[in-house]
Structure 1
């Protein structure tokens, strides 16, 4: 067993043009004052990091890490969620996903994909320069528009889709391997990797590549009615990152899992600030600790009701109250009679 590190927080939902959310220096000072010990950095946001510079300059990486360390803050992981989305993107989503890339690559699927691939490569190099061993990502999606099997899927469609997804990620995973970096895919609706079965399909197409791993976020499993505790039993060896995010599913006579195209606040399944939803975090922290997960508990704040500042403030205490300092003693050691082979044989009547 090992003790989880934290609390940390993903910066993506907090960056803003207003202080203290307008750059890494200001927001890290604010978070340190709240009691945070780590930050997960969105690499697409230049207010947080110059990704190219971090990949090419160890000096810049050291200065970035050092400036945070001086405040008692560590970088937990770099995130390439948006770039990862564009590594594999179906043309039907071109217009909506163009906003994830610089304007120069809009309306050009091939150029945008090449840009995204390069971004992941840079993030792998930057992670190594920063002394990080995990990169948080989305997988992208070629098959998502067929997630419900109507019309009937042609034979072999799913296999072809996962083979192509693996072909796109295999070279990137090999690059990450050369830098000692795991890719932790957040299993998320809208991605071809959104549950255990799809992750297994991906692994099979990759010949079980050791760098293909999981960012565990139970909120997405609540919305899919997946057993998120048993998931840990199945996949704990591949869980390399953890988003602490709450959610709820309130049954309705009008709408279900698909949400009826409603806004988040009206959907039966919605994300909530920590402690306001239905996720059994005691169970999660217990299982992860039992299986030796000693990485970061990173809050990803998303809520359609509560203000983010309140969510961030409450999140520190919430995570601190759930981190288990794993025991180094057996509780009934006081009653031990010692270890002796002769005694054991006597007790067994041998």
Structure 2
């Protein structure tokens, strides 16, 4: 009889082990398919986390760390762009800027005059065909730091995508994309931003923001000669991914278009992938735990809410080398966990991001 009971107990134990193993197998299979982060928790009086996000295996598994570098700069290539898009009276030959090369170790070609300028270097192309217009218009679409294409809070109020008299919005965008195509710059199409700002919108903007238009900026000349202008911003793309910018990497090309020509343009260099290495990334929960610990260890004077999470690509390092008098460099781009954070106090709400290298788990900024 005892043997019979032992046999039954043995069978039950085998079934339990089998069930546990199956459950673990299912959990492992689920974990291999996605990173699922579901948190709704009040950590303390000033810190709250509310994130609901799932990332598929395609989004997060074996992401590549990219080493990218600019294509070589040649005079023939730079001259071809200048001839096609840098419209000034007569044909102007590019000048090789020896002074710049001696100072910075980079090849540099330029054309300069009182009202026009063309500069081609390894990291970018910059040109304007009407200096006064560019200076006067720029205050309407760059913030005080000159890093973003327009005042976002005013976008809906003053900016739209209407057509101007001499060139439609679509035609203006196509003109810009043709320059980018010829330059080789690869842009992230879903992230293209563009707007029209009319003379009437500029007038209203000036009336609403008198503090911005001090004696130095209070110009009412060239921008009144037309009915407005277009501005376009094209995010940098490498291997199909948008690369986000920082202090060592400019992440967009920008154009100012008026009438039927480009007034000014800034185009980062054409990039090529030098190396790529597949990497396993950190679970975002690991990173979130670090962020929570960071905020728990400081005295918070604002209410802090961590409310969103995205995976982006960003430049984490730049390596520069000097060879035969000419400098070259490469950018290291890695997947990044980007946590959105909201800060609230009696003065209002401010939003920002906390970024962590998704491969190493180190904080970027």
Q: TM-score range by the shorter chain?
A: under 0.3
The structure with more strand, counted as a fraction of residues: 2
What TM-score do you get using the length of structure 2 for normalisation?
0.23
Between structure 1 and structure 2, the one with the greater Rg is 2
